[in-house]
Chain A
Amino acid sequence: MDNSAELQRFLEQEKQKAMVSEMVGKLTSVCWDKCITGTPGSKFSSSESTCLTNCAQRYMDMSMMIMKRFQSMQ
């Protein structure tokens, strides 16, 4: 059935999107708490936006490290 293949592909796509959106949401929450320490201003300071960028990238590095660490345990 052709419809079912189409639906399958659609669901797979939406699943990917959901994973990405969950990751962005989680990192935003974690990095917001770490980097935005004062009351939110009308504009991010450059140190705040640099912190957000670094925070997200270091979180990914860390996830990679943890994954490798667990793989080496098996």
Chain B
Amino acid sequence: MDPFGSSAPPSGASSGPSAEAMMEQIKTQLAQAYAKEFLETVGSKCFAKCITKPGTSISGSESSCISRCIDRYIEATGIISRSLFSSPH
């Protein structure tokens, strides 16, 4: 994950992009990187749980398993972050 890799700063120092513009761009790229990583993780976790024996198409029960799995994974992420940051520890 390298959110900074593709955007080299332009040469000619004084007329470069403003700090605000750069920060906006970095934020967008970070958000994309976080989303991509999350989607990949959810995909591999739910594939493992729900598609135990891949058939010629995704069955109704598999697809409802996938949607429950996505909801539970998001919920689990919330439980984990709460348990780390809101506990006397």
Chain A positions within 8 Å of B, measured between CB atoms, are: 3-4, 6-7, 10-11, 14, 18, 21, 23-25, 27-29, 31-32, 36, 39-42, 44, 49, 52-53, 55-57, 60
In whole angstroms, what is the CA distance A40 to B72 when docked?
7
Taking chain A's interface residues, is the majority helix, strand, or loop, or is none over half, making it mixed?
Answer: helix
- B84 at interface, CB cutoff 8 A: yes
How far, in whole Å, are A7 and B79 apart by their CA atoms in the complex?
33
Please list the residues of chain B having a beta carbon within 8 angstroms of any beta carbon in chain A. Answer: 18-19, 22-23, 26-27, 30, 34, 37-38, 41, 45-46, 49-50, 65, 68-69, 71-73, 75-77, 79-84, 87, 89
Q: Known pairs A28-B73, A32-B73, A40-B49. 10 more at Cβ < 8 A?
A: A7-B19, A23-B84, A24-B84, A27-B80, A28-B41, A32-B76, A39-B50, A40-B46, A40-B68, A44-B72
